[in-house]
Amino acid sequence: MRRTALFRPLFRLRRGLAAVLLVVALGAPFAARAVQPDEVMADPAKEARARALSRELRCMVCQNQSIDDSDASLARDLRLLVRERIAAGDTDAKVIDFLVARYGEFVLLKPRFDSHTLLLWLLPPLVLLAGGVFLWRHGRRRAPPEADSAAVAASRLTPEEEAKLRELMAEQPPQKG
């Protein structure tokens, strides 16, 4: 058998891996660059603030993407609005409050811990806790009776029962196996 025949599957794997890496390398810059060059602010500090705020705001079209990542026209409008508010001198909190007042709490990717979002924040830990308690109680209920010393003592035969058992065993002929 020739050496090349042994390594042929390895060469195919390397070619396939190279193709995947090429697709990822070519697609990655475009997927992460939703912010257009005409949106970028001249001041790098203000642009950094705008980008940080844009990562906290939900695209109302895509809903599971931030406006920083989304290519939707509404996301572009929101990015421009954030930059306008920053250029006007608003603090980050004022920009967020302005957008929440205009679009509601849904615009935030991470909702605030508030009285009306209390259930949203507390329900997952409560469900996990209830599941843990259920599993713990279910496991204790299914514990073998040998774990309890009272159950072990109750399961032992009395001397009379042991004598009766020996009699019954002696009367039966040995079975051939």
Top-confidence residue, 153 or 91:
91
Domains contained in the chain, CATH given: 3-114 (1.10.8.640), 116-171 (no CATH)
Helix axes 44-56, 73-87, angle to 10 degrees: 130
Entry pTM: 0.52
The Cα–Cα gap between 80 and 38 comes to 10
Q: What percent of the chain has pLDDT over 70?
A: 72
Give the mean pLDDT of 107-131: 86
Helix axes 92-103, 73-87, angle to 10 degrees: 140
β-strand partners of 57: 108
27-80 pLDDT, tens per residue?
A: 544 444 577 776 777 888 888 998 999 999 988 888 788 888 888 888 889 999
**SS3 at position 146:** helix
Residues whose CB is less than 8 angstroms from the CB of residue 27 and which lie 6 or more positions away in sequence, other chains included: none
**Mean confidence (pLDDT) of the chain:** 79
